[in-house]
Structure 1
Amino acid sequence: MKTSIALFGLAAVAAAAEPRQLFNGKDLDGWSMTGPGRFVVEGGMMKTEGGMGLLWYKGEQFGNCTIRLVFKTTGPRDNSGLSIRLAEEPRDPWYAVHNGYEVQIDAAGDEWHSTGALYSLSKVSKRAQKPTGEWNTMDITLRGQKTIVTLNGEVVNEFVGDQAVPERKQWYEPVRGPRPDAGFIGLQNHDARSTIYFKEVSVNR
C-alpha cells in the first residue's frame, strides 16, 4: 500500500509539472487577434503575416508562472515579441505596447531592443539567439514583480518592476511604472516584412 501511495504521489507531482500548451498545433482556438496584422497556422506552427497586430490569449491572466516560447526567425531583421502583464484585454495592439512589458524578439536590435530585452526598459546581459532559421527556446518566468528571461538555457535578463529604467524618449515606447503581478499575454506581429514561426507557447505553474 505504501508503495502504491508513493507511486501515486510521484505521478501527481509529474502531472503538476507538465506544461500546459496554449497553442494546440491545429488552430488559434483560445486566441484573439487585434490590429491589421494576422497569425496563420501552417504546418502545425503559428506564423506572423500582414503587419502590426497582437494575438492575445483570451479569458485568463498569467502570473507566478513560466511562459515558454519556441520560435524561429526567417530573416536577420525579423521582429516580434511577447507582451506580458497586461492589466486589461488588449483591444488595440498599441495598448499592449504602451501598458505591458514586451519581451523582445529581434536579433538585430541593440542591447535594449534585442531578443530577451524588455523593450526599452531592461537590456539583455548577453546575446543568446541562434542563427536565422534555427529554433530558439525562450522562458519568461514571472514571480511577483520580478521577470526573468532565459534564452536557449542562458539567463539574459532579470527585471523588477520598481527598479530604475531609462527615461521614455519616444511616443511608441512603453509608459514607465510597475505592472500587475498577473496579466494577459500576447504575441506581437510587428510588421509585414517579418515572418516568425512559433511551434510552442506553453505555461508551467
Structure 2
Amino acid sequence: MLLSYRSLSVAAVFSLSSLLSAADNPFIGRWALTIPGGGAGWLGVESKDGALTSSVLWGGGSVVPTTSTKLDGDTLIVTREQKNKEGKLNATETITAKADGDVLKLTTAKKNAAGKDMGQPQEFTGKRIPAVPAAPDLSKVKFGEPIQLLNGKDLTGWRLLKEGVDNGWSVVDGILQNRVVKAKDKHFGNLRTDAEFEDFNLKTEVRTQEGSNSGIYLRGIYEVQVMESFGQPLDSHHMGALYSRITPSVAAEKPIGEWQTLDITLVDRHLTVILNGKTIIDNAPVLGCTGGAMSSDEFKPGPIYLQGDHTNVDYRNMVLRPVVK
C-alpha cells in the first residue's frame, strides 16, 4: 500500500516527537522506592529505539521486567502482571508516577483477572538514584583493622532483624548455625549485626545444607546469595551472585556439606565476590537494592544481615575490614 505525502509527514513528525520526548523524559533512570507499607523497592526506566521499557523490584523477590511502560502527558504509566506458577493471570497492577525533579510521587492500583478493583489505590514515593561512579581502583583502597563479627561462643553483637519471630540461630562448637523447622505456626527470622557499616571487605566461610537458601546482606541492602547450587548452570540466583542482579562469571561452588570461602568487597557501589578462590564478580557496578532489603537508600550505613527465614545453613570465621577514607 502506498502512503500519501501527508501520511508520511505525520509519521515523520510523530517519530521525531517520540525521540524528543524520550530525550527529555524525566522518568528515565533508576529510582529507589519506598513502597506501600514502608518496604524497599526499585524502578528502572529506559528508552530503547524510541520505546520505553522498565523493570521493578517490589519488596522481596527478584528484579523483573514490567508488561508495559508509557507516557501520558506528564504521567508515567507502568503495568505489571502477576501470574501463578501455571502462568495464569492473577492480577494486573498499574503504577502511575509524576516526577518533581529527583522525586517521584506514585500510586499503585490492582485489578483481579476479572478486571475488578482489589482494594483502594495506594500512594508511595521514589527518589532518583545518582549515577554509579567509575569503578574504584581496589589496589589503592585502604582498609582498617579487622573486626571479628563471630566470637565462636554466642550471639553477642547480633540480634534478630525483627521481633516476634522464631529464632533458629545458635552457636554450636564454634559455628553459627541456623536450623529451621517447616511448620505453619513457625516463622524463622533473619539475623543482623548490632553494628552498621559503609564500604568494606568481608571474609567468611559458609557450609550449605540440603536445599540451603540463605544470603549475606551487605549494609542490609544488597544480598550476596548463599545457596546449594553445586553443578547447576550459572544464574543470578545461585551461590555468590548478587541476587537477581549480577550473575557469577564462573561456577565455583563446592558440593553440599563442604566449607566454602567467600571474599566480598563493596566499594563505591561496586561489588567483587571471590568464591573458593575464584573471582566470580569483578568490581561490577550495583544498580540498586535487592529483594529483602531493609531500605532502598544506598547511601547510609547498615548492618550485615544473614537470611535465616528459609532453610538451614552454617557460618564461621566472619571478619570485616571497613574502608578507611
TM normalised by structure 2 equals 0.46
Q: Distance in 2 between matches of 1:17 and 1:62?
A: 12
Task: Tell me the residue number matched to 2:20.
Answer: none
Shift, 1:175, TM fit: 10
Runs of at least 5 residues in structure 1 that lack an aligned partner in the other structure: 1-15, 87-99
Per-residue CA deviation, residues 46-65 of structure 1 (Å, 9 max, x unaligned), is 1112354211001x222231
Q: Does 1:153 align with 2:277?
A: yes
Task: Tell me the C-alpha RMSD between the 2 structures.
Answer: 2.8
Q: Is the 8 A contact 1:144 1:181 kept in 2?
A: no
Q: Distance in 2 between matches of 1:74 and 1:42?
A: 15
Pick the structure with more helix per residue. 1
Task: Tell me the residue number matched to 2:169.
Answer: 39
| Amino acid corresponding to residue 286 of structure 2 in structure 1 | G
Rate the CA distance shift 1:17–1:177 in 2: closer, same or farther, 3 A: closer
Q: Distance in 2 between matches of 1:133 and 1:189?
A: 18
TM normalised by structure 1 equals 0.71
Per-residue CA deviation, residues 152-200 of structure 1 (Å, 9 max, x unaligned), is 111112431338x9xx9xxx67699772264221111142xx3211112
| Amino acid corresponding to residue 184 of structure 1 in structure 2 | P
Report SS of the residue matched to 2:281: strand
Per-residue CA deviation, residues 58-112 of structure 1 (Å, 9 max, x unaligned), is 1x2222311112111122x2111101133xxxxxxxxxxxxx2110011337511
Shift, 1:37, TM fit: 4.2
Residue 248 (structure 2) aligned to one of 124, 135, 147: 124
Q: Distance in 2 between matches of 1:176 and 1:21?
A: 25
Rate the CA distance shift 1:56–1:175 in 2: closer, same or farther, 3 A: closer
| Amino acid corresponding to residue 78 of structure 1 in structure 2 | S
Rate the CA distance shift 1:52–1:125 in 2: closer, same or farther, 3 A: farther
Query: Aligned ranges for residues 49-60 of structure 1 at < 5 Å?
Result: 49-50=179-180, 52-58=188-194, 60=195
Query: Aligned ranges for residues 27-176 of structure 1 at < 5 Å?
Result: 27-33=154-160, 34=162, 35-50=165-180, 52-58=188-194, 60-75=195-210, 77-86=211-220, 100-108=221-229, 111-158=235-282, 159-162=284-287
Per-residue CA deviation, residues 94-150 of structure 1 (Å, 9 max, x unaligned), is xxxxxx211001133751100111111111111111111111110110112111111
Q: Of the two structures, which has the highest relative contact order with CA contacts closer than 8 Å and spacing of 6 or more?
A: 1
Q: Is the 8 A contact 2:209 2:228 kept in 1?
A: no
Shift, 1:38, TM fit: 2.2
- Percent of aligned pairs sharing the same letter: 31
How many residues of Structure 1 are paired with residues of Structure 2 in the alignment? 167
Rate the CA distance shift 1:196–1:162 in 2: closer, same or farther, 3 A: closer
